[in-house]
Amino acid sequence: MSQDMSVPMQPSKSRTSLRGLVPWVVFAAVLLLLPVVFQGNSTAFTLLNVIGINIVFALSYNMLLGQGGMLSFGHAVFFGLGSYAAMHAMIAIDDASYAGEGFWAHVPVVGMPVIGMIAGGLVALVLGWPFCRRAGTAFAMITLGLGEMVAAAGQMFPSLFGGEAGIYGNRMVGPQWFGLELAQSDDVYWFMAFWTFVAVFAMWAFTRTPLGRMSNAVRDNPDRLQFIGYPPRNIRFMIFIASGSFGGLAGGMAAVNYEIITPEALGLIPSGLALLMAAVGGLGVFYGPIMGAIVVTLMNSMLSDYTDASILYVGLVFLSIVMFAPRGLGGGIEQVRVAWREGDLARRLPGWLSGALAVGLIIVGMVVLVEMLFQATHGDDEFAQVLGMEFDAAALWGWLTAAVLVVLGAVIKRATNKLREDQA
């Protein structure tokens, strides 16, 4: 931003510059290299596939919250309905290819995310208009109600939603494209990699369109937008549809990955997950939600191997990010990058490093506390292990260690506050 200020009359060169391509080449290279790294490790591929879905889901959510300033608690409606549409299409393909004729016999399963995208967009188109009158708290409450209502309706129409058991399909049907059999998770990976790349690129391209720019304007100053002659409600409605489409696309990816979908996928829990991922990664940076999706998915699936309180940790991470680093992981990286470019890094580093040390100490202290609390309420037969040390909830010294760690962190933070004060 500061660059633009210093040379106001020069047009932006970013469109023609080759430097803009670098992140995309790196992204594609990473997607191509991952299968080589994890060859034969099917657990890793399963995890990678989920990460792919969540990246698209979190990014589509951030189109609303980060770029349009609309806090939604019902984004899973589009994800879930997109997923249901794709699943019904997969079932139709199965039936049609059994009969060997009809339209669906020629549709490949690889194209399911398109079905999900269309469904998500249509749902947003039908439902969205009354909701887009205001942003902020009202929008949040309305989308919460929408999510609850659709989730409840999901239980009521078993022929469409399959009741509590949900509906399931088979992804190994219909015509195969590119020789993708979609049998194992490493085969599905290529499907995921392709759609993740396409969707991420499309959503990035959306931010560069006039509508994408306008969505930032409606977030920052809707009154002024109204003065200029763009009704904010129309802009919000269009963002809502775009975001719903990409949410549906993620749902289509999920349908192919899991081959089952239940009405739970429409409710508040997956909607909250999208919010969690986007906020942890950072709402203000385009790649923030990508990082958030990777971190939260890894935390959700890997922490549960080590502790029974994994969901609590995810919640605590979210809470501390909202409190102490409102710009998220991506915002932090961006800050360091700007300081580096301005040659400011050496001056600011001591403040940041001491802050990181303080936060680290508090985190370890909290982990010890949570683990011991868990042990205290669930019997003493399992020891709370943190960093290889064993803590016993019955002994006082464990609680003392936790308290000392937290207090030490707080003291360091307070003592070094001065070092961080001058940064805006």
Partner 1 sequence: MLEIVIFSTLNGILYGLLLFMLSSGLTLIFSMMGVLNFAHASFYMLGAYFAYTLGMHTGFWPALILAPLLVGGLGALVERFGLRRVHANGHVAELLFTFGLAYVIDELVQMVWGTVAVAYREPEYMREPLFTLFGTDYSIFRGVVILISILMFVALWYLLKKTRVGLMIRAALTHGEMVGHLGHNVPRLFMGVFGFGCALAGLAGVIGGPIMATEPGMAATLGPIVFVVVVVGGMGSLQGAFYASLLIGLIQTFFVAIDASVADLVNAMGANLDPYGELGRISLATLAPMTPFILLVLILIFRPRGLMGELEP
What is the total count of residues that contact partner 1 (CB under 8 A)? Answer: 42
**Residue 148 touching partner 1 (CB under 8 A):** yes
Evaluate whether 107 touches 252 at the Cβ level (below 8 Å).
no
**Residue 163 touching partner 1 (CB under 8 A):** no
By beta-carbon proximity to partner 1, the closer residue of 319 and 353 is 319
Rounded to whole angstroms, the Cα distance separating 334 from 321 reads 15
Q: Tally Cβ neighbours within 10 Å of residue 314.
A: 19
Radius of gyration of the chain (CA): 24
Q: What's the Cα-to-Cα distance from 287 to each of 47, 56, 214, rounded to whole Å? A: 20, 11, 20
The site map against partner 1 for 20-59 (x = CB under 8 A) is ----------------------------------------
**Residue 133 touching partner 1 (CB under 8 A):** yes
Phi and psi, residue 343, nearest 5°:
65, 30
Q: Which stretch binds partner 1 (CB under 8 A): 25-33, 192-200, 209-217, 319-327?
A: 319-327
Evaluate whether 362 touches 406 at the Cβ level (below 8 Å).
yes
- Output the smallest distance, CB 279 to partner 1, in A: 6
The site map against partner 1 for 195-234 (x = CB under 8 A) is ----------------------------------------
- Output the smallest distance, CB 220 to partner 1, in A: 12
| CA–CA–CA angle 329, 334, 339 (5° rounding) | 130
Q: What's the Cα-to-Cα distance from 368 to each of 124, 383, 391, rounded to whole Å? A: 45, 11, 8
- Sequence-ordered list of residues with C-beta below 8 angstroms from that of 332, at least 6 positions apart, any chain: 282, 325
Rounded to whole angstroms, the Cα distance separating 309 from 315 reads 10
236-275 binders of partner 1 (CB under 8 A) = 268, 272, 275
Q: Which of 146, 192, 203, 367 binds partner 1 (CB under 8 A)?
A: 146
Q: Which stretch binds partner 1 (CB under 8 A): 38-46, 75-83, 144-152, 191-199?
A: 144-152
Evaluate whether 355 touches 420 at the Cβ level (below 8 Å).
yes
By beta-carbon proximity to partner 1, the closer residue of 57 and 73 is 73
**Residue 299 touching partner 1 (CB under 8 A):** no
Phi and psi, residue 192, nearest 5°:
-65, -45
Token output for 240? 């809502």
By beta-carbon proximity to partner 1, the closer residue of 166 and 252 is 166
Q: Which residues lie near partner 1 (CB under 8 A)?
A: 65, 69, 71, 130-131, 133-134, 136-138, 140-142, 144-146, 148-149, 152-153, 155-159, 268, 272, 275, 279, 309, 311-312, 315-316, 318-319, 322-323, 326, 373-374, 377
